[in-house]
Structure 1
Amino acid sequence: MTDTARTGWWNLLPAGIRGQVDGYVLQDARLQAVRVVREVGRAHGLGLTEAQTVVHDRYLHHGDRIARTPDSPLDLESLAARAAGCPGRVLAIEAVRDGDTTHDWFVDLLAVTAEPTGEQRLVTIYRSTAVRHLGEHEDHGPLHPSAAAATRAGTALAARLSVPFHFASPDRPDDQAPRWRP
């Protein structure tokens, strides 16, 4: 899509809708912004790909003014404090891959608990969080940065808590990988 086409799509949207989309962008609510552009732009032949491109352009336009969602802390002390706040006894630390259209693949680091039985999300590790945590030029081998960061943080936390660490799919995205069981 050319710059002229992108500007044309944006200008087709009514001023009120453009304001709403910019509001979502400034709140770092990408999916809501894309949904609005797609719904309103459908009448003009705007598809999902074009809606995503228009919203991406608005992110570029607003730059540093966007209130970004803060990164989850990956330091051992913060993770241990989160685990200590879980209801029930922590039985294991588990890393689970997931993905979405906004963040690509990411990893949730979970505390698996007993009494009550369940799991508590400690952090969600996106690529950007992982790169900042690991260092931009760190070699993490064939692992996706979020998987490498989850492995490092999860292993350290599990050792601190004297529980097992489980990550069924560190080397490939698989949101259906087997989960940890006691």
Structure 2
Amino acid sequence: MGMNKAARTEWWESLPTGIRDEIDVYVLQDSLLMAVRVITAIGLVPHGIGVGTAQLIANDRYLHYGDLIARKPESPLDLESLGCRAAGCDGRIVAVEAIWDGDTVHDWFVRLLAITSAPAGETHMATIYGSTAKSYLSEEEELHSRHPVAVAAERAGSALAAYLSVPFHFASPDTPDDEAPRWQP
């Protein structure tokens, strides 16, 4: 059972100042998971506040602070920047892959990865949130009802793969799916 906004506000205001300050510092640092961890640690046993409600409470604080939150920097999607990151990969890049992910703050987003062999692994190239896609894609761009993050991921990932002469894999470019099949050599 979740708490409505009024109940969340009442619970928040009942907290000691020190706890409220600790949670707010995590929010202001854009550390959602740490804020949720503190909220559940103090709220689960006495008040039944689980992760879902804790995320709503933290989101209330995000809305309260708005532009004051020190957001993590957006990933660059230009080919020169991605190529520079790829040059730093440990191992030989054998593919570039786009995979869906999501959370309560950003909704759906796409992670762009370089898949390597010798040693086998993956290296993070970029995280494409809605705001990242918006600044990367032109205003006039026709998305054909596709998710902007998918369009941006496909464009940046394909360009990087072509630059590296490796395949580009995006198992579910039209529908957010964080369980879509991964790239196989």
TM range (shorter): 0.7 to 0.9
2:112 to 109, 113, 116: 109
Report the Cα offset of residue 45 of structure 1: 4.8
C-alpha separation between the residues in 1 aligned to 2:164 and 2:29? 36
The answer to whether the Cα contact below 8 Å between 1:93 and 1:111 also exists between their aligned partners in 2 is: yes
Shift in alpha-carbon separation, 1:2–1:135, aligned structure 2, 3 A: farther
- Pairing 1:111-150 to 2, within 5 Å after superposition: 111-135=114-138, 138-150=141-153
Which residue does the alignment assign to 2:172? 169
Deviation readout 1:117-154 (Å, 9 max, x if unpaired): 22211112122211222246643223222111110001
C-alpha separation between the residues in 2 aligned to 1:18 and 1:70? 26
Which residue does the alignment assign to 2:163? 160
Report the Cα offset of residue 111 of structure 1: 1.2
1:18 to 17, 20, 23: 20
The answer to whether the Cα contact below 8 Å between 2:55 and 2:104 also exists between their aligned partners in 1 is: no
TM-score relative to the length of structure 1:
0.87
- Pairing 1:8-87 to 2, within 5 Å after superposition: 8-42=10-44, 43-87=46-90
Shift in alpha-carbon separation, 1:63–1:92, aligned structure 2, 3 A: same
Which has the higher mean CA deviation after the structures are superposed, 18-27 or 62-71? 62-71
Q: Partner amino acid for 1:92?
A: A
Report the Cα offset of residue 50 of structure 1: 3.8
C-alpha separation between the residues in 1 aligned to 2:140 and 2:19? 41
Which residue does the alignment assign to 2:102? 99
Which has the higher mean CA deviation after the structures are superposed, 33-42 or 158-167? 33-42
Report the Cα offset of residue 46 of structure 1: 4.0
% of aligned pairs identical? 62
C-alpha separation between the residues in 2 aligned to 1:68 and 1:173? 24
Shift in alpha-carbon separation, 1:52–1:114, aligned structure 2, 3 A: closer
Gapped regions of structure 1 (runs ≥ 5): none
**Aligned residue-pair number:** 182
